Structure 1
Amino acid sequence: MRVAFYGSSLLSSYWNGAATYYRGIIRQLHRLGHEVTFYEPNVYDRQKNRDICPPEWCRSVVYQGNIEALRSVAAKASEADVVVKTSGVGFEDEALFDAVFAAARPGALKIFWDVDAPATLAEMRADANHPLHRQIRDVDLVLTYGGGDPVIAGYREIGARECIPIYNALDPDTHHPVRAESRFTADLSFLGNRLPDREARVEQFFFDAAANAPSEKFILGGSGWGDKPMPDNIRYIGHVPTKDHNAFNVTPKAVLNISRESMAQNGYSPATRVFEAAGAGACLITDTWDGLDLFLKEGSEVLAARDGQEVAEIVQALTTKEAQRIGENARQRMLREHTYAHRAEELDRILTRHFEKNRIEAAE
């Protein structure tokens, strides 16, 4: 099928944590025979911070951040069998939603793909005039980055015809074990951009852990933390491009996952970093959240903590040998059950079923 995909960015992970998610899904869809065109706006300096060149497995279209360009690329939705608009594109999301689905031809499958569903649903519950209350009834299907049954129920309550989570996963061609690099040497590292609903949890789980383990070395990667006060044993290294993620994950004794507030409260929402780190064979420590055992077994494949004090205690007690064992167990679990090939096969079945239903209804 021909897929028109409107998202934040395929080419850059700069201020765009969903980049590797999009890449993993779309690359595997290509292998299954789908033709995907990804439309992304030139905003937030992402094009100046590309991680990849336009790939051979997806047609990439970058448009300028203005209404005229938006309308031009939205009109291209008429050429597709499947039209996807994601959340958080970053330029005139409401106008883009209306334009692409208005342009979709009769019988085309119209999908809203929410990569931050718990936060979106919280916003909608708090705002009766949120545009999605109106817009969600115009799409055939809602896909989400995760969220499990709570997100499915939430979207059905606001009028979605159907909601299906497509979880993050591992692309083993991209994220895998590599040689350690001394520039990333640490006892515990964390990678994440500074965001409003993440900052307090980073303070709680990472900064407090560093304060409670002053003899351990910590590394913080990600955009936006430069002016943030932090303990002296944290070394801030700024944005870490995708090409360095494997070394960033493999080198330290352990890496930390910290869920955003909305994701933690909802559960069932493992971040991309979980799969990247596990795929590289890193020993992962994560904040606790409901649904963790669907992806990794606590104790043998991942370590979980309720606060920064517990993170500190885990890091101080963790031996290199034990860390390596946990990391390898996690990697094997990912390869067995949680690759993007697994996700794309599931998505292929979903697209085929819904597109055939739409085709029949359009012909009647």
Structure 2
Amino acid sequence: MKTKKLNIAFFGSSLVSAYWNGAATYYRGIVRALNERGHRVTFYEPDAYDRQQNRDMEDPEWAKVVVYEATEEAVYKCLEQAAEADMVVKASGVGVFDELLEREVLKLQTDDRLVVFWDVDAPATLDRVHHNPQDPFLPLIPQYDMILTYGGGDPVINAYEALGAKKCVPIYNALDTATHFPVEPNERFACDLAFLGNRLPDREARVEEFFLKPAAATPDKKFIIGGSGWGDKHMSENVTYIGHVYTNDHNAFNCTPKAVLNISRESMARYGFSPATRVFEAAGAGACIITDYWEGIDFFFEPEKEILVAKSGAEVASILAELTEERATAIGEAAYRKVLAAHTYNHRAEQLEKLLYAKVEQQDEALA
């Protein structure tokens, strides 16, 4: 069994567009790494939210991409095709017909076919079902062969297992070395501190605290914010808003500033053990990262040596005041070494492969 290569059907938001789709680089890293290990992935994504009009890549060689119309009929057609797979994955936050997909993929479950729910925003999902006992996803949780998550550590594992999950395992995001790496600086992104992230309800207050507040308090320093939705947000004059930053500009965005800022969404920070994809992307470009505090940072990077940690906007301002170019470079280089050694998508794909083989062998033994 350990040599069997899997045919995987994957229902997600989008593989080819990062537009209003923060999980894109996570999907790309995981899917590419699985392909490099010999597995075949068909990625089903809806034509929704103008993502296809804002693609940042062509269909890749390492996955088959099926873009379907945002209609029930098209969803059922894709489900029929998925019945040929060895494993079916339904990711959270597809964006259209999520409830239908979460229910219907379970009908594809057989003794030979695993059906997995892959939660790329577990804190938000758990908060939602805890606040609504009538949530249609709640009774489905125990039916999946496995729940995989984008992060969350023990708090998320314990929460999912308390809801009846057979098994819950975090597959942390990581560095896609084919996409994110050091490049030459680009003057367009030159500043003391840069932040990249879309404007979302459970991120906005933390962006105000950790980015906009220190920017207003240090008018002698230059700040850049990228991502969708910030256009009408009040900002001090030393902040430049550059809008959506396409994936092919991420390396220069991370390499050029003296430091880049990671700001967790509120739910991610509360559960902990949920480093954003941006942390690994920035480390892979050799950036000096300042992150807001969350439980489990030292599981990934060593504070003060490989990453700088701030518990408030005032601490961000204080770190910036003392940060020299030499120290920023040393921290970025240390983060780069760490991410290559322990946090690439090949590391994650190897973990996932072992997990899946163990699950399949367990099923085979049960049937014997």
Q: Does 1:300 align with 2:305?
A: yes
Give secondary structure in 1 for the equivalent of 2:83: helix
- Displacement, 1:100? 2.1
The residue aligned with 1:91 is: 96
Q: 1:172-183 to 2 correspondence within 5 Å?
A: 172-183=177-188
Give secondary structure in 1 for the equivalent of 2:115: strand
Q: Does 1:39 align with 2:44?
A: yes
1:16 is aligned with what amino acid? N
Q: 1:146-295 to 2 correspondence within 5 Å?
A: 146-295=151-300
**CA separation in 1, counterparts of 2:11 and 2:103?**
12
Question: Could you report, residue by residue, the CA deviation over 1:273-316 in whole angstroms, capped at 9, with x for unpaired residues?
Answer: 00000010000000011100011110010000011111111112
Q: Is the 8 A contact 2:258 2:325 kept in 1?
A: yes
- Displacement, 1:359? 4.1
Q: Is the 8 A contact 1:176 1:246 kept in 2?
A: yes
Range moving further from structure 2, 128-137 or 259-268: 128-137
1:176 is aligned with what amino acid? F
Question: Could you report, residue by residue, the CA deviation over 1:331-361 in whole angstroms, capped at 9, with x for unpaired residues?
Answer: 0000111111111001011111112333454
**CA separation in 1, counterparts of 2:10 and 2:363?**
18
**CA separation in 1, counterparts of 2:58 and 2:363?**
35
The residue aligned with 2:3 is: none
Identify which of 108, 112, 115 aligns with 1:107: 112
- Displacement, 1:228? 1.1
Q: 1:68-79 to 2 correspondence within 5 Å?
A: 68-79=73-84
**CA separation in 2, counterparts of 1:4 and 1:357?**
21
**CA separation in 2, counterparts of 1:302 and 1:103?**
44
2:337 is aligned with what amino acid? Q
The residue aligned with 1:358 is: 363
In the alignment of these two chains, the number of paired residues is 363
Q: Is the 8 A contact 2:105 2:115 kept in 1?
A: no
**CA separation in 2, counterparts of 1:74 and 1:236?**
41
The residue aligned with 1:135 is: 140
Q: Does 1:328 align with 2:333?
A: yes
- Displacement, 1:129? 0.7
Q: Is the 8 A contact 1:189 1:254 kept in 2?
A: yes
**CA separation in 2, counterparts of 1:188 and 1:31?**
36
- Displacement, 1:43? 0.5
Q: 1:307-346 to 2 correspondence within 5 Å?
A: 307-346=312-351
Q: Is the 8 A contact 1:75 1:99 kept in 2?
A: no
**CA separation in 2, counterparts of 1:89 and 1:350?**
24
Unaligned ranges ≥5, structure 2: 1-5
Identical amino acids, percent of aligned pairs: 58
Question: Could you report, residue by residue, the CA deviation over 1:142-201 in whole angstroms, capped at 9, with x for unpaired residues?
Answer: 000010000000000001000000001111221110000000011000000000100110
Question: Could you report, residue by residue, the CA deviation over 1:35-66 in whole angstroms, capped at 9, with x for unpaired residues?
Answer: 10000001000001111111111010000111
Q: CA RMSD in A?
A: 1.0
Give secondary structure in 2 for the equivalent of 1:358: helix
**CA separation in 2, counterparts of 1:236 and 1:261?**
22
Q: Is the 8 A contact 2:108 2:115 kept in 1?
A: no
Q: Is the 8 A contact 1:137 1:159 kept in 2?
A: yes
- Displacement, 1:105? 4.3
**CA separation in 1, counterparts of 2:112 and 2:20?**
35
The residue aligned with 1:9 is: 14
Q: Does 1:118 align with 2:109?
A: no
Unaligned ranges ≥5, structure 1: none
- Displacement, 1:243? 0.3
Q: Is the 8 A contact 2:17 2:51 kept in 1?
A: yes
Range moving further from structure 2, 262-271 or 93-102: 93-102
1:118 is aligned with what amino acid? P
2:210 is aligned with what amino acid? F
